[in-house]
Structure 1
Amino acid sequence: MKDAPRTVERANTRKHSAGETTRIALLEAAEQLFATRGLDAVTSREIQVAARQSNSSVIGYHFGSREGLIRALVEYRLANLDADREALLHQMRIDGTEADPRAVVWLLVRPLANSIRAGHMFVPFLARLSENPEARSMYWPPHLDDPWSSDRMEEPIEAALQDLPERVRRGRIFQLYNSVLNLLGTSARTHGVSEAQLHNYVDGWVGMLTAPISYETRGLLTD
């Protein structure tokens, strides 16, 4: 009888392992479908089938709802992006490049590129999510910061673009974020992105971010 608790414990461990495997299969199937077709074009049934699950209530069991699955997907992938970004921020502080616009652009770009090279479809998923601000506010887990608007990201952005008026700075940050997501998202869905291409893209994004303000724009801002 002494072995009975161990038998139960082993059974529970196997059950948990099988459940976690099913959960990840659902997340990754959903990520692929959402990235390819968009959030509104994918049904729970299609995710279930793509994950090779026969139980029609499997999404509800693991996530509560389709919305819960999307929030879980954001949380699942964001952990790696945050870890990469923290390492880059640490290195920027060591190198003294916290106010370097190019370093700031890489702070956004490199974790996303790493995700693509790992074979994940999270970047095109984020691009799909960013197409609809209402969907983004609906599906983003409330306890997680949007990495690009978090305090940790705001500091190097402010330092790198301190010579720009706030209104211009905010507009360019928005433009940068959407350009990066859409271009890298397209690359992830098609041919991938080489290191040379990535550096060329970063050159362009740095130029966009730091371009002089035209007289026309200054006049409109004054008005």
Structure 2
Amino acid sequence: MSTTPRAAGTRLALIETAERLYAERGVHGVSLREIGAAAGQRNTGAVRYHFGSKEALLTAVFTHRMTEADAERRRLLAEADAEGRGDSPDALVAAFVLPLAKLLGDADRPTWYVRFLVRATADQEVGAAVRYGQGSTWTAGAEELERRVLKLLMRLPESLRYERWRLLISFTVHALADREAQLATGDADLTPRDQFVGHVLSLGAAMLRAD
């Protein structure tokens, strides 16, 4: 397959268009042909040509956004380790929340990734496209974070440890997705960004501390 600048630009347009349409309409609410057309491609098989399948396209969206985010997550964990707080609830929640929060846009620059994340990971049929523990370059930080969170929760029965981790993920991602949607609609009653993120961080840390 060609790796020319033009081909790279086409792939990026398809990835970002898929992200937006999947976020707005769900993974099963839009066809590969519609994604290609919305990305300005006259060839109805453009997505299959560049990615091969829907799952590969979904993986490309995750990789596009999460490679940098996961690197930031690893950096935050290393920084916390250097300061002797690498296993504290506050540091662990910050390592999860902040890289995702950085992906949020604003009223003048809407984004769709966190809403895409909610839609895609809620669909069991496409869940294989993003799985921690697969050894991919964009989940290493998340895998390490999960290990530390479960170790922190050793005081709980095993089944509750995993449930608490899943609840933290769900709370965080849905809170950020709601914020992203509100930004996209120009909601003027939003709390300031730093205050909102601080609120999510505090509530997330409380979830890890609670019995």
TM bucket (normalised to shorter chain) is 0.7 to 0.9
Q: Which residue of 1 aligns with 2:205?
A: 206
Give 1 or 2: higher helix fraction.
1
Q: Distance in 2 between matches of 1:126 and 1:183?
A: 12
Residue 122 of structure 1, CA deviation = 2.0
Q: Within 2, Cα distance between the matches of 1:87 and 1:112?
A: 14
Q: Out of 30, 33, 43, which is 1:45 matched to?
A: 33
| Residue of structure 1 in register with 2:102 after alignment | 114
Counterpart for residue 99 of structure 1: 87
Deviations 1:145-187 (A, max 9, x none): 756762x223421443333332222111011111111111121
- TM-score of the superposed pair, with normalisation by structure 2: 0.83
What's the C-alpha RMSD, in Å, of the aligned pairs? 2.4
The superposition leaves residues 61-98 of structure 1 with CA deviations (integer Å, 9 ceiling, x where unpaired) of 11112332112212222211111111101111111111
CA contact (8 A) 2:118 2:173 kept: yes
Residues 42, 143 of structure 1: CA spacing in aligned structure 2 closer, same or farther, 3 A cutoff? farther
Alignment partners' CA distance in 1, 2:157 and 2:84: 24
Structure whose CA Rg is larger: 1
Partner of 1:8: none
Percent identical among aligned pairs is 29
Partner secondary structure for residue 26 of structure 1? helix
Retained in 2: the 8 A contact 1:36–1:189? no
CA–CA distance in structure 2, aligned partners of residues 160 and 92 of structure 1: 15
Between stretches 141-150 and 32-41, larger displacement belongs to 141-150
- Residue deviations 1:99-132 (CA, integer Å, cap 9, x gap): 2101111111001001124854222111112212
Q: Any runs of at least 4 consecutive aligned residues in structure 1 with deviations exceeding 4 A, and if so which?
A: 145-149
Question: Is 2:69 the counterpart of 1:78?
Answer: no
1:170 to 154, 162, 170: 162
Amino acid at match of 1:72: A
